Amino acid sequence: MTNFLLSLSTWEGILFSMVACTVIGLGVYVVSYKLIAKYQTEEMKDSTGGLFRVIGMLVSLMLSLAFADVLVQLRSIENAVERESVAIANIYLDLQQFDDEKTRDIRAILTDYTQSVIDDDWPSLADDRLARRPLDLSQKIQKRVLELNPATAPQKELWSRILNDLDVASDYRYVRLDNAMAQPPIYLYVVFIGFLLTMACFGAYRPQPPLIVLVTMYTWFIGLVLYLILALSDPFQGGIGVDPSTFERLLERMREESAKF
């Protein structure tokens, strides 16, 4: 179900989630009403109303915490992508300063790596897979950089900076990969169970047009928020999340720099 939802476009996913929550929620409400109606008393109605308010508040709290958590996670991934791209840009420029002619082939591999991140990493991460080519190119870059032989003090300083930026780029790459392979948060299922319990508590009230309208609007809202939480928890799949535009801009600048020489 998760992969199916995220395989849809953003608006299709939102619509499907809202419709699914409405159908499931109203189904639980109708079944609950039929069961409760047989034993309904004013005293029971009052106690059910109190329980309904408690569960409703808990579901609202869980929704807000879950949404805040996935937003923090999204910001962390966006930061990792930006820091990785900055480190790659620094490596490229430092290689140019180290020795433009001697490092031309390394910079070409670095350009291929950036292109591979766009062409291979992003589609693979959307399918919860790890692409092999970016890793191979990354290892090749590290090997070639280690083979450089700095002869002057400026070259030694540049070589040290390049090695440091390689470590930074690698670290943030693994942050990106780790978050992409993460499973949907467990609290998403807890929130859905809380939603079902809330709909069951609605069963204490007789179906009437105004109540049905309000309940339907409530299920729409829950469906919308659940979809957003799910989509943001897997930011490389679906229409909401992180795109490779940062690397695309970086690749364009790298090619412009290469064309100057």
pLDDT tens digits, one per residue of 68-127: 888 888 888 889 899 999 999 999 999 999 988 888 999 999 999 999 999 998 888 877
What was the pLDDT predicted at 51? 65
Range of the domain at 115: 2-259
Task: For 78-147, give the secondary structure using H, E and C.
Answer: HHHHHHHHHHHHHHHHHHHHHCCCCCHHHHHHHHHHHHHHHHHHHHHHHCCCCCHHHHHHHHHHHHHHHC
Please list, residue by residue across 188-205, b when 16 or more beta carbons sit within 10 angstroms of its beta carbon and e when fewer do: beebbebbbbbbbbbbbb
Find the range with the poorest average confidence among 27-31, 52-56, 140-144.
Answer: 52-56
Number of domains in the chain: 1
pLDDT given at position 119:
92
pLDDT value for 43: 57
Exposed e or buried b per residue across 148-170, where buried means at least 16 C-beta atoms within 10 angstroms of its C-beta: beeeeeebeebbebbbebbebbb
Question: What is the structure's pLDDT at 169?
Answer: 92
pLDDT exceeds 80 at position 42: no
Q: Minimum mean pLDDT among 52-56, 82-86, 154-158, 193-197: which range?
A: 52-56
pLDDT in tens, 214-253: 889 989 998 998 888 888 887 777 667 788 889 999 999 8
Report which secondary-structure segment, H or E, holds 159: helix 153-180
Q: Is the dihedral of CA 228, 233, 234, 236 positive or negative?
A: positive
- Which stretch of 55-59, 157-161, 175-179 has the lowest confidence by average pLDDT? 55-59
Question: Mean of the per-residue pLDDT values for the chain?
Answer: 84
The pLDDT of residue 47:
57
pLDDT at 69: 82
CB within 8 Å of 26: residues ≥ 6 apart: 199, 212, 215, 216, 219
Q: How many Cβ atoms sit within 10 Å of the Cβ of residue 240?
A: 17
* Average pLDDT of the segment spanning 45-52: 60
Which residues touch 229 (CB under 8 Å, ≥6 apart)? 63, 66, 67, 70, 185, 188, 191
Confidence of residue 46 (pLDDT cuts 50, 70, 90): low
